Amino acid sequence: MPRKFKEIIIIGGGPSGMMAALFALRQGAQVQLLEHNQKLGKKLYITGKGRCNVTNDVQGDEFMNNITRNPRFLYSAMDFLSSQGLRDILRELGCDTLVERGQRVFPVTQKSSDVIRALENGIQEANILLHTKVEEVQQVSDGRFNVLLSDGSSLSADSVVIATGGLSYASTGSTGDGYEFARLLGHRVTDCAGSLVPYETSDSWSRPLQGLTLKNVTLEARIKKKTLFSQQGEMLFTHFGITGPLVLSMSSHLAGLDVDKITCSIDLKPAVSLAQLDERLKTMLQEGGRKQVHSLLSQLMPSSLAAAFPAICPVDMGVQSSQLNASQRMQICQSLKNIPIKLSRARPIAEAVITRGGIDLKDVDPSTMQSKIAPGLYFAGEILDVDGYTGGFNLQIAFSTGALAGYSAAQL
């Protein structure tokens, strides 16, 4: 007599694995969730600085515009579990959410532990094996799977969901094991690099600026005439280079590219044109009279940047304001609108918020998350070659792909 339920093993107890477990259980499957940490959701716990930006409330195309890598792959998964669907599930499991600035969604309690607790509530029926490290996944002749564990034992199941995450913040358990499981089963894995990651810079003038935040500036990155990134927002100088929301967003357009070919610059005055800025400077200089030009600079920028400005702009800042000619004035304006930043490299992947690259999507059916190479095998979460900006988009990717993988894996 055929069994009336599927036996499913889910590898990885992060957000994607827990959501896969929830949906598989709701389809009546028998679920074993294997996690090599001592608790579930170790990375989830540190998300959003402990507040967990669980998703983003923007809808439709606007949501997809924030998925910077392979957004089309996500259509079915997002249809299956939208951001509202996720919020409904969390509420049902005891974790209400609220929308904050930038449509970012957080638990009302502002505690990531409450998101984890809610998910744990939903998967009580699963057999959760902590301290359990998977070494390999094998598909056997009848199509079932053997999952080999580090203690030498093995488990078997009809279906396996690989939800082992990426490579960033390896101390949380994401050490990239799943890529190897997939490779051994014949899947392609695209090159992995850190994304949503700070950058080191080699400009000596910027070193003293450590701690300076620039707000409402435009950060731009180009290769020759092709603009890779241009957005307005906030960035921060550090002891090694630059970080902050703008820099993290920029990084998701630069992952894997040769930094030596990239020209990066800051427009300190994006709201005004060059001509408008020139007019403003002209007035300032007239009012400045005999004052040296550099004494006026702090009216145009933070004082620490004003101190570094002579290293950026070739005009002699020691001359009297009234003596500056039109071309020197224009040169200052051009520098204000185009401060060059020499990127030397991205910080290591260990410091990246997410991993760019992963399981090649050509090998995965987007309507089920099932492997096209090994039927019965499913992928979910950051291990897939899909990612987005900060703002809750990456957790939504994990939850939506996890839900769809768990649901699909449970179908008889």
Per-residue b/e over 82-107, b at no fewer than 16 CB within 10 Å? bbebbbebbeebebebebeeebbbbb
Contact region for ligand FAD (CB under 6 A) — 6-14, 92-100, 138-146, 241-249?
6-14
Q: Residue 259 in contact with residue 344, Cβ under 8 Å? A: yes
The one-letter amino acid code at 232 reads Q
- Local structure of residue 91 (DSSP, 8 states): H
* Nearest-approach distance from CB 257 to ligand FAD, in angstroms: 22
Note whether 158 binds ligand FAD by CB under 6 A: no
Q: Print the binding letters for residues 19-58 with ligand FAD: x by CB under 6 A, - otherwise.
A: ---------------xxxx----xxx-xxx---xx-----
Q: Which two tokens stand for residue 143?
A: 């199509």
Note whether 14 binds ligand FAD by CB under 6 A: yes
In the region spanning residues 130 to 149, those forming contacts with ligand FAD, defined by CB under 6 A, are 133-134
* Nearest-approach distance from CB 329 to ligand FAD, in angstroms: 45
- C-alpha closest to that of 47 among 380, 403, 400, 393: 393
Note whether 395 binds ligand FAD by CB under 6 A: yes
Residue nearer to ligand FAD on the CB measure, 336 or 354: 354
- C-alpha closest to that of 76 among 406, 404, 410, 411: 404
DSSP string for 317-351: TTSBGGG--HHHHHHHHHHHT-EEE-EEEEPPGGG
Alpha carbon distances (Å) from 302 to 71, 209, 218, 220, 296: 39, 10, 16, 20, 11
Residue among 63, 169, 179, 389 that touches ligand FAD (CB under 6 A): 169
Apex CA 129: angle with CA 124 and CA 133, to 5°? 145
Residue nearer to ligand FAD on the CB measure, 17 or 241: 17
Residue nearer to ligand FAD on the CB measure, 36 or 69: 36
Residue among 24, 78, 105, 163 that touches ligand FAD (CB under 6 A): 163
What span, in angstroms and rounded, lies between the C-alpha atoms of 394 and 163? 14
Count interface residues toward ligand FAD (CB under 6 A): 39
Residue among 12, 194, 358, 406 that touches ligand FAD (CB under 6 A): 12
Q: Print the binding letters for residues 346-385 with ligand FAD: x by CB under 6 A, - otherwise.
A: -------xx--------------------------xx---
Residue nearer to ligand FAD on the CB measure, 185 or 264: 185
What span, in angstroms and rounded, lies between the C-alpha atoms of 209 and 304? 6
Residues 6 or more apart whose CB falls under 8 angstroms from that of 80 comprise 400, 403, 404, 407
Residue nearer to ligand FAD on the CB measure, 29 or 354: 354
Helix (H) or strand (E) holding 15: helix 15-26
* Nearest-approach distance from CB 227 to ligand FAD, in angstroms: 26
Helix pair angle (15-26, 112-122), 10° resolution: 30
Apex CA 306: angle with CA 226 and CA 302, to 5°? 85
Q: Residue 195 in contact with residue 387, Cβ under 8 Å? A: yes
* Nearest-approach distance from CB 238 to ligand FAD, in angstroms: 16
Residue nearer to ligand FAD on the CB measure, 131 or 215: 131
Residue nearer to ligand FAD on the CB measure, 47 or 201: 47
* Nearest-approach distance from CB 35 to ligand FAD, in angstroms: 5
* Nearest-approach distance from CB 268 to ligand FAD, in angstroms: 29
Q: Which two tokens stand for residue 127?
A: 């057999």
How many other CB atoms sit within 10 Å of the CB of residue 111? 16
In the region spanning residues 173 to 202, those forming contacts with ligand FAD, defined by CB under 6 A, are 173-175, 177
* Nearest-approach distance from CB 382 to ligand FAD, in angstroms: 4
* Nearest-approach distance from CB 403 to ligand FAD, in angstroms: 12
Residue nearer to ligand FAD on the CB measure, 83 or 201: 83
| Contact set with ligand FAD (CB under 6 A) | 11-17, 34-37, 42-44, 46-48, 52-53, 133-134, 163-165, 168-169, 173-175, 177, 353-354, 381-382, 392-395, 398
